[in-house]
Amino acid sequence: MPAAAIALDEKLMPGAHEFDPMRFYKQRQDPDEANLHQFTTTEKNSLHFGYGKWACPGRVFAMYEIKLILAYLLLKYEFEFPGEGKRPENLSAHEVGLGIYNVFFHPLARFPGPKLWTAYRLPFVISMVNGNLTHQTKHFHEKYGSIVRTAPDELSFTNDAAWRDIHAYRAGHRNFPKSQLWNTIPNLGKRGPPKKPDHILNANDADHSRIRKLFSHSFSEKAVTEQEPLVQSYVDLLIAQLRKQVELNKGSAISISTWYSFTTFDIIGDLGFGEPFDCLKDAKYHAWVGMLVGQFKAATVGLAMQYYPLGRWFMQNLIPQKIIDDVVKHARFTDEKVRHRLSLEVDRPDFLSGVLRHNDEKGMTMEEIVETSNIMLVAGSETTALTLSGITSYLVKNSDVMIKLVEEVRHTFKTDSDIKPGQVSKLPYLNAVIQEGFRLCPPIPDGFRREVRWAAIQFVGSGYQKE
């Protein structure tokens, strides 16, 4: 299910391409819907955090981070686009006989879609590597309807009957498993890092439940509240550093996206590994974080190659040694960082304290902890930073919204120290703006792929074909 194509579908969301900060606020005025349509709600038209048993566990944490950071910045600063006043580019980030079979005789042949895409996987892969798969998918849904065949063996759904069937638990049925290809790091062969254990993203049902249960202690309402002072200390550091940067770079622009990224990496580093990466302090990416950020785009090319045997062979045999060395170094460093954190007596609640407290015989192995901590770092940092950048860019483009929001923040808070997480959640306009910016600029705009067994294809297909 393509989250962005759904959120931008005019039929589901009238005026979908407009920035209407009051959209969700207005929907909540209906007493029956007063508790729905929140930033962290996962529902049919809001799937940016996924849905069902794999839905994002860090969303409440991300919400607090975003509100705090925006409130602090709006209290003290004005924003505008640098240079020509234009929004910077988005940062975000797959034989003739076979083609004839795929288009006319394949079990999915009855579903509509662009012919070349239904015949071969290549157009999908090219679009993925070019970074425009999300836009293409949205365009295909506009042209072909709510079920589109985007590759020989792949369907994309935007109709609201499908999301529950695909993502939610159905009594008497097993969950559709996640796509292993999309959730497992490509095998780099003998030169790559040693084989890794499963982690929260690619573990089987039973292991996933065990891992998720342990980590859930870190995301309980209580834990998030206890983590607030630490988050706040990094927001303070962000503000102090921005002040310094403004003085140092008199007259020249500062990339707020980079500073958002420094902040979220430091916060997740501290909560995940017991110490920050000092990106804020040093005003630059820590080498390890820089390596990670550098690997995001390469990871898309790596994923694209996994679709072809020759691509997989290339990954294992022909990738330059320098790239392999970086990946091995990165894996070793992660391992050392987590083991170092586990050796520390930490008296404050972080992501691992809940895991360690409850790690009995049904707990996690050291290797699983290392791998899941690594996932946590990737999942919890750039996602939040990109969301903040997206919201900021809509604010800069809509000066009337910015004026109203600044008024609300400055009217409510007089000094930095007045800003508390519990308080920022009470600002209706701030919350409305954040949610609408998130809808228009989600950091994970693509779908969350599920593998559907052959028998289930009949079920999925027959149920939605008639509309």
Indicate the annotated binding residues for heme: 56
107 to 126: interface string for ligand HEM, x by CB under 6 A: --------------------
Q: Cα dist. 344→337, 339, 356, 361 in Å?
A: 11, 9, 12, 22
CB of 349 vs ligand HEM, minimal distance in Å: 13
Neighbours of 31 (CB within 10 A): 7
Phi-psi category of residue 28: left, alpha or beta, with phi > 0 → left and psi -120 to 50 → alpha: alpha
Q: Which residue's CB is nearer to ligand HEM, number 61 or number 265? A: 61
- What burial letters (b/e) apply to 149-186, b meaning 16+ CB within 10 Å? bbbbebbbbbbeebbebbbeeeeeeebbbbeeebbbbb
CB 364, CB 355: distance < 8 Å? yes
Q: Which residue's CB is nearer to ligand HEM, number 138 or number 324? A: 138
Residues in the annotated binding site: 56
Rounded Cα gap, residues 215 and 461, in angstroms = 36
Q: Which residue's CB is nearer to ligand HEM, number 62 or number 69? A: 62
CB of 99 vs ligand HEM, minimal distance in Å: 31
Question: Could you say which of 323, 375, 396, 457 contacts ligand HEM (CB under 6 A)?
Answer: 375
Stretch that binds ligand HEM, among 106-114, 378-386, 393-401, 420-428 (CB under 6 A): 378-386
387 to 406: interface string for ligand HEM, x by CB under 6 A: x-------------------
What residues contact 130, with CB distance under 8 A and at least 6 apart? Answer: none
Angle at 225 between CA 220 and CA 226, to 5 degrees: 100
Among 141, 96, 190, smallest CA distance to 447 is for 141
CB of 49 vs ligand HEM, minimal distance in Å: 5
Stretch that binds ligand HEM, among 128-136, 156-164, 334-342, 374-382 (CB under 6 A): 374-382
Q: Which residue's CB is nearer to ligand HEM, number 412 or number 425? A: 425
CB 460, CB 176: distance < 8 Å? no
Q: Which residue's CB is nearer to ligand HEM, number 383 or number 398? A: 383
Q: Which residue's CB is nearer to ligand HEM, number 68 or number 319? A: 68
CB of 173 vs ligand HEM, minimal distance in Å: 17
Q: Which residue's CB is nearer to ligand HEM, number 49 or number 413? A: 49
- HSE-up of 392 (CA within 13 Å, CB side)? 30
Q: Which residue's CB is nearer to ligand HEM, number 124 or number 351? A: 351
Residue with tokens 């409510």: 412
**Rg from Cα positions in the chain:** 23
Stretch that binds ligand HEM, among 112-120, 121-129, 358-366, 381-389 (CB under 6 A): 381-389
- HSE-up of 28 (CA within 13 Å, CB side)? 16
Is residue 212 a contact residue for ligand HEM (CB under 6 A)?
yes
Question: Could you say which of 201, 239, 424, 432 contacts ligand HEM (CB under 6 A)?
Answer: 201
Is residue 444 a contact residue for ligand HEM (CB under 6 A)?
yes
Q: What is the number of residues in the chain?
A: 467
Rounded Cα gap, residues 317 and 442, in angstroms = 36
CB of 319 vs ligand HEM, minimal distance in Å: 27
Could you say which residues in the range 26-85 bind ligand HEM, by CB under 6 A?
48-50, 54-59, 61-62
Q: If binding means CB under 6 A, how many residues of this protein chain bind ligand HEM?
A: 25
CB of 212 vs ligand HEM, minimal distance in Å: 5
H or E element: which one contains 110? none
Question: Could you say which of 113, 302, 443, 447 contacts ligand HEM (CB under 6 A)?
Answer: 443
Burial of 326 (C-beta count, 10 Å sphere; 0-12/13-18/19+): middle
Q: Which residue's CB is nearer to ligand HEM, number 61 or number 259? A: 61
Is residue 379 a contact residue for ligand HEM (CB under 6 A)?
yes
CB of 466 vs ligand HEM, minimal distance in Å: 27
Q: Which residue's CB is nearer to ligand HEM, number 213 or number 312? A: 213
Could you say which residues in the range 227-286 bind ligand HEM, by CB under 6 A?
268
Closest residue to ligand HEM, judged by C-beta, is: 58
Long-range contacts of 265-270 (CB under 8 A, 24+ apart): 265/289, 265/377, 265/381, 265/385, 266/234, 266/237, 267/65, 267/230, 267/231, 267/234, 267/381, 268/376, 268/377, 268/380, 268/381, 269/377, 270/230, 270/234, 270/350
For every residue of 42-68, DSSP letters joined together read -BTTB-TT--GGGS-TTHHHHHHHHHH
CB of 333 vs ligand HEM, minimal distance in Å: 19
Question: Could you say which of 157, 259, 285, 448 contacts ligand HEM (CB under 6 A)?
Answer: 448
What is the binding site for ligand HEM (CB under 6 A)? 48-50, 54-59, 61-62, 200-201, 212, 268, 375-376, 379-380, 383-384, 387, 443-444, 448
